[in-house]
Amino acid sequence: MVDAGRSHSADTTSSPASEPIVRVTEFRKTYGRTIAVDGIDLEISRGEIYGLIGPDGAGKSSLMKAIAGVLTYDSGTLEVFGTQVDSEQSAETIKDRIGLMPQGLGLNLYADLTIEENVDFFGQIRLVPKEILEQRKKRLLEMTRLDKFRDRAMKNLSGGMKQKLGLVCCLIHHPQLVVLDEPTTGVDPVSRRDFWSILAQLLREEQITALVSTAYMDEATRFHHAALLFDGKVLARGEPDEIAALVPGRIVQAKAEPQAESLGILKQTFPQSEAVGPWLRVFVDDADDEQAKQAVTSRIEKFSPHEMHVAEPDLEDVFIALLRRRGLTDNDDVQTASSTSNTNARHADGLAIEANELVREFGSFRAVDRVNFRVEQGEIFGLLGANGAGKTTVIKMLTGLLPPTAGTGRVAGAEMRRAGQAIKERIGYMSQAFSLYQDLSVVENIRLYAGIYGLSRRRARERTEWIIDMAGLSGRENSLSGSLPMGVRQRLAIGCALVHRPQVLFLDEPTSGVDPIGRRRLWDIIFDLSRNEGVAILVTTHYMSEAEHCDHIAMMYAGRVFADASPSELKASLRNESGQLLEVTTDNPLAALEVLESEGFPGVSLFGKRIHFLASDPAVAEQRVRDALKQSNIEVLSVLEQPLTMEDVFVNRVLALEKADARANGETQ
């Protein structure tokens, strides 16, 4: 097990030799017979961002609440600021130096209070003097760009704004340690990046220490140190790069046709194989570049694999590989659907969904503004956008749940306005907020949906068996759906939406809150439905890495579609417009970030101990970086080009639109 929690770069702590701010030894917490945390050890040093990563039920929240002094524990020792926290009395002595933000959008806030009233309330209960409260409130609201909305009620905020307000309330009393439990879950990519920029600025200017948990594996690069948790235990810990090095191997990406058949063959030898858009993505254990290429090629040689690339595995690959190697993955692997094509009727032009100039107004507010897109039968189509962009409203119009103010649409061959019942019979819909009855069992939920869609007993029995196999629910048929892990519950929800074999499936954020293993299994199902069953799938997601799975993407902003292309086309467009992504590694990243910001480098952001930004001329930008940091006595360890991601595309395009809107309204950014 990597244990790199003792040494830090000069940027991460004001006193490298100082005692850890948090020390946990043999920590154990149980709830009745359930062991939530089992013998965990970890240390958090002053001035760093320490990450806890793991699936639901790994023990993250229990450990964080105990560190914040709001949860008792069974055994072990817990020291915070040098104080042993082992009683309510000792916990009270440290709480004034801690800020806690619990899991869930706005759960530490009051819905009917405005932004300013929430901040004032938290300042008062923390006994912040009025003059200091006003100064601190002004600074934090400006930093989070909430100052223009101080009179807006919390219940009317977007998810990203709620999380930023939660952070402000958590920070209003100037804590030394902030404990943030999944602060970016359910938040759009722009707000996520905004959130991390704010945290980096506080780290630099106020030398706070942060303990952060996340469901997004890609965020691990932003941590100085991290612990991977599973089933209440530490699976690995250290710097992200050190954890990644625990599992030697390579990722091979290639194209081969037929893709579904190629994937099935690869999975027999390489369990960590998946389809990502047109690509096959394979983790090859214990191999160098050439060995990995040869291993994949030899398995699918008859399909003429081409455009083959080899790369280092990311932390999500490593996490899953660690579980697999240690036999910690469960046995509920999903089954592929029938390889025969869906017998449902297809209309002649091959179009499954067509939106033409769709408009939806709520009073004077236009939520959807002349939206156009087309989805082919058997295509995975991604509808991406920030919170409040209009995605869910578009889905509700297309599924007949909400009449459009203007425009037309066709779904599964039926005209949207005039064929509501026909559309309902031909589509499946898994909503963001509600899909299952949690007090019904797995089988009872399936039977309920079968009854709603009018299936005969024989057909309902056949589809129930198919769903149980497809979702990996064998042995759990009589379990209450509310008792299932999130990933398993979402697979059941997809199954219920498919009980009547629809031609088109709408999935509204199906993987929100699902752990990495659960997300991959859900995408296995989605891919199989698309390729083998010919189902057209429209999916919304906040995980930009998942956007890579889509064949086609429409991006929305303020009710409008501003981009409509494949992931590769969108990344190529950003590269042509704004340049290549550069990654700068230095011996003092916080200071380097400040220097590069002052030098006018656009969009610089901190990713753990590295800095990212886009450069139209990478060679010129590298020289500028080296010159600027040399003048500040900061050593540059490397400047490397990195591949663009869909998050880079989304964030840069949306920020450009926000700036254009601000200029049009005469505002300054």
pLDDT in tens, 354-400: 999 999 999 999 999 999 999 999 999 999 987 778 898 999 899 88
The domain boundary residue, chosen from 239, 262, 296 = 239
**Residue 139: inside a domain:** yes
Q: Kindly state whether residues 561 and 595 are assigned to the same domain.
A: no
Beta strands in 199-257, from DSSP E residues, in sequence order: 209-214, 225-230, 233-238, 249-255
pLDDT on residue 80: 96
Least Cα distance to 580 among 614, 550, 532 occurs for: 614
pLDDT on residue 620: 95
Distance between CA 655 and CA 188 in Å, rounded?
13
Contacting residues for 53 by C-beta, under 8 A, at least 6 apart:
60, 213, 214, 217, 220, 226, 227, 228, 229, 315, 319
The domain boundary residue, chosen from 496, 531, 565 = 565
Please give the residue range of the domain that contains residue 47. 22-239
Q: Kindly state whether residues 482 and 397 are assigned to the same domain.
A: yes
pLDDT on residue 334: 52
The domain boundary residue, chosen from 189, 219, 239 = 239
**Residue 339: inside a domain:** no
Average pLDDT, the chain: 87
Residue with tokens 């408009």: 359
Long-range contacts at 136-142 (CB < 8 A, ≥ 24 apart): 136/172, 136/174, 137/168, 137/172, 140/168, 140/171, 140/172, 141/115, 141/116, 141/168
Counting DSSP H helices and E strands in the chain, the numbers are: 21, 28
- The CATH number covering residue 287 comes to 3.30.70
Q: Kindly state whether residues 495 and 379 are assigned to the same domain.
A: yes
**Residue 378: inside a domain:** yes
- The CATH number covering residue 549 comes to 3.40.50.300
Q: Kindly state whether residues 561 and 573 are assigned to the same domain.
A: no
- Please write the tens of the pLDDT for every residue from 546-596: 899 999 999 999 899 999 999 999 999 999 999 999 999 998 888 899 899
Distance between CA 180 and CA 625 in Å, rounded?
33
Distance between CA 558 and CA 405 in Å, rounded?
16
**Single pTM value for the model:** 0.83
pLDDT on residue 485: 77
Q: Is the dihedral of CA 66, 70, 74, 75 positive or negative?
A: positive
* DSSP strand pairing (552-557 vs 560-565): antiparallel
What residues of the chain score a pLDDT lower than 70?
1-18, 105, 330-349, 419-420, 432-434, 513, 608, 667-669
Least Cα distance to 245 among 163, 341, 306, 314 occurs for: 314
**Residue 327: inside a domain:** no
**Residue 14: inside a domain:** no
610 strand-pairing partners: 585, 607
**Crossing angle, helix 189-206 and helix 646-664, to 10 degrees?**
90
Number of domains observed in the structure of the chain: 4
Q: Kindly state whether residues 280 and 396 are assigned to the same domain.
A: no
Q: Kindly state whether residues 165 and 30 are assigned to the same domain.
A: yes
230 strand-pairing partners: 233
pLDDT on residue 573: 95
Least Cα distance to 342 among 507, 528, 503, 108 occurs for: 503
Q: Kindly state whether residues 279 and 397 are assigned to the same domain.
A: no
Q: Kindly state whether residues 539 and 636 are assigned to the same domain.
A: no
Q: Kindly state whether residues 575 and 559 are assigned to the same domain.
A: no
**Residue 335: inside a domain:** no
**Residue 253: inside a domain:** yes
Distance between CA 306 and CA 2 in Å, rounded?
37
Q: Kindly state whether residues 505 and 430 are assigned to the same domain.
A: yes
**Residue 427: inside a domain:** yes
Q: Kindly state whether residues 359 and 471 are assigned to the same domain.
A: yes
pLDDT on residue 434: 66
pLDDT on residue 399: 87
Q: Kindly state whether residues 225 and 361 are assigned to the same domain.
A: no
